A and B are shown apart, each in its own frame.
Chain A
Amino acid sequence: MIRTLPNSKAYTTGFKVFIVLYFVFLFAPLVVTMVLAFNNSMFPALPWQGFTWDWFFGKGPDKIGIFHDAINLRSIYTSFRVAAGVTILSTVVGTMAAFLFEQEEFRFKKLLYFLMLAPMVIPGVILGISILMFSTAVGLFFENTFGWNMDMFSPGIGLVIFGQFSFITTIVTLLISARLKKFDRTLEEAAYNLGANRLEVIWFITLNYLRPAIIGAAIVAFLMSFENFNTTLFLVGSNATLPINLYLQVRDGSTPVINAIAFLLIVTTSCIAVVNLYSGSRNKT
């Protein structure tokens, strides 16, 4: 049954086979995608035509590698800008929200907390369209009343940042709150007792303690923003983010340059994930 109980051979082998199959299921699409990035073919498919770096460094004319593919590079750059904006905004506001819900007492706290959780329950598509409609309405209002034509209310990078921020901040808040909950508040009292004021207490003691959680939450925010599709879809303007751009290429069929992008994404995110997981588990003590 479990480690400490005697188990029949069939039971353990059966379980092992199941787990191996599960991991095959988990990794097959990723491995195949990565391998085909190096196939010297015009299509992301077998048969294997030999090894090539062309889908990374090819200059054309028929094989344009990712490092010379202007449209894809541009979308990556856009995604970086969006993710950077979302990360900064959501980490700052999420930290404040964690303090607000863990350390402050006020009327309607429960209601506000419930609202804070709402983005977890609202499908991303609906967040996207509701923000699109609201910002359009606000834009129209400004145009009709003051005659201002404000770009920030029409689809574009700004709106994408706010759309992603609206639900990623909830996740950041939950991650930071989880650590803040374990915080021993006598440490704050001790610092207070030793002569620190409220600001110094937060800066030297609480934020210091929260640092691993804040860094971890920032990484999660960055990755979530980088891969968001559903909310972004409705808010994106002429500057497509990487997932939107990839979606169009996947839908319409493309060269293995997508595999090259996938290879880079998988390797980078895996590295970040591993580092984050290991540093996270080390900091738990």
Chain B
Amino acid sequence: MTKSEKIKVRWGFIIFFTPVFLWLFLLIVLPQIELLRMSFLGTDFHGKSGFTLENYGSFFTEPIYWLTFARTALYSILVTFIVLIIALPVAFYITKLAKIKYQGFLMVLILIPFWVNELIRIYGWIILLRESGVINYFLLKLHILKHPLEMMYHDATMILGLVYTSMLFMIVPIIGVMESLDDALIEAANDLGAGKVAVWRKIIIPYCMPGIMSGSIIVFMLVLGSFLTPKLLGGKNAMWFTEQIYNSIIIYFNWNQGAAFGFLLLFLSSLIIFIVLKLTKQELSKVIK
């Protein structure tokens, strides 16, 4: 390479590199470091701030904090599982059973609700489910119920909402891999004497594993970090961990506590994803695609 050429090549690189680096450094790396730093700061009796483990300590000593944390984690796993159970047959129907000419239309139909604002979707459920809601109205009209039933503010309602809002992120990756599953494989298995259950267990699910994994990780992430759905549909005295963070920062104005909670949430999500990826021997970059 000649000298002038080397300089030319570097210019192209610098033009691409600089904005990307600034983005990631200023908006991702430094804020996360600041979050970590804040989580170790506290004010002592004299009003002087300094290093402390207090913020993390209170997490373990106050049951309300770690109970919320555990509840959030367990419910996130449960929601992910429910979403998977519903998404598999839906994806299967669209890719393998629906008439080819309807396939594109069904895909669009599945995608549309998810382009709509999350808040509007939750609002729709509120209108349906609340005491004065549409479902109660019809149940009363049909004399199935005598008194309206409060269907809001239960954990079940919250789970319904979370399943609803995160459905798409499971269906799309699964449809992606299922489309590439050659029908001949299912035909061959069938020809060799496999029943439906065996075909699902031995052919379809193993083949769709990459899609299932990436869908599960994305859904888990979204549910774990969701705020609106638990807040609006969930019970008043059983909180989601993100609400805990919100309260610390916005209501109690205890940023150090909030930072510690934020970091714990980040740690939990990274840890679970890391474990799942290790167990299934996949790579993050591949899963995200």
Contacts and interface: CB of A to CB of B under 8 A. Distances in A.
A104 B100 CA distance: 41
Contacts of B23: 93, 97, 165-166, 169
A269 B225 contact: no
Given A28-B128, A104-B16, A123-B221, A4 B134 contact: no
A5 B242 CA distance: 48
B144 to A, nearest CB: 15
B221 A130 contact: no
B209 interface: no
A174 B289 CA distance: 7
Contacts of B97: 2-3, 12, 15
Contacts of A27: 113
B117 A227 contact: yes
B199 interface: yes
Contacts of B86: 22
B42 to A, nearest CB: 15
A25 B116 CA distance: 15
Contacts of A165: 23, 27
A122 B15 contact: no
Nearest to B110: A26
A58 interface: no
Given A134-B34, A198-B12, A274 B127 contact: no
A252 B108 CA distance: 34
A93 B93 contact: no
B8 interface: yes
Q: How large is the interface on B (under 10, 10 to 19, 20 to 34, 35 or more residues)?
A: 35 or more
A6 B97 CA distance: 11
B192 interface: no
Interface stretch (A43-51, A66-74, A80-88, A188-196): A43-51
Q: How large is the interface on A (under 10, 10 to 19, 20 to 34, 35 or more residues)?
A: 35 or more
B90 A273 contact: no
A233 B218 CA distance: 21
Interface in B107-163: 107-113, 115-128, 132-134, 137-138
B227 A233 contact: yes
B126 A250 contact: yes
B224 A123 contact: yes
B119 A272 contact: no
A270 B226 contact: no
Interface in A235-285: 242-243, 246-247, 250-251, 258-259, 261-262, 265-266, 269-270, 272-274, 277-278, 281
Interface in B3-59: 8, 12-13, 15-17, 19-21, 23-24, 27-32, 34-35, 38
A40 interface: no
Contacts of A127: 31
Contacts of A273: 108, 111-112, 115
A229 B230 CA distance: 14
A4 B225 contact: no
B35 A133 contact: yes
Given A46-B134, A272-B115, A277-B111, A130 B120 contact: no
A60 to B, nearest CB: 23
B288 A269 contact: no
B96 A33 contact: no
Chain B contact surface mostly: helix
Contact of B20 (A97, A119, A126): A97
A131 interface: yes
Contact of A120 (B27, B226, B288): B288
Interface stretch (A107-115, A142-150, A208-216): A107-115
Contact of B262 (A46, A47, A130): A130
Given A32-B128, A269-B116, A125 B21 contact: no
Centre residue among B28, B115, B164, B226 by max chain A CB count within 10 A: B115
A198 B20 contact: no
A141 to B, nearest CB: 11
A223 interface: yes
B132 A178 contact: no
Contact of A112 (B24, B199, B228): B24
B12 A104 contact: yes
Contacts of B121: 29-30
B35 A130 contact: yes
B85 to A, nearest CB: 12
Contacts of A258: 123
B199 A1 contact: yes
A99 interface: yes
A45 B133 contact: yes
B67 interface: no
B259 A129 contact: yes
A100 interface: yes
Interface of A: 1-5, 12, 15, 18-19, 22-23, 25-30, 32-33, 36, 43-47, 92-93, 96-97, 99-100, 104, 106, 112-127, 129-134, 137, 162-163, 165-166, 169, 174, 178, 198, 223, 226-227, 229-230, 233-234, 242-243, 246-247, 250-251, 258-259, 261-262, 265-266, 269-270, 272-274, 277-278, 281
5 contacts: A2-B97, A32-B124, A129-B245, A130-B262, A246-B123
List 6 tightest A-B contacts by C-beta distance, closest first.
A29-B124, A123-B225, A130-B31, A166-B27, A134-B31, A100-B16
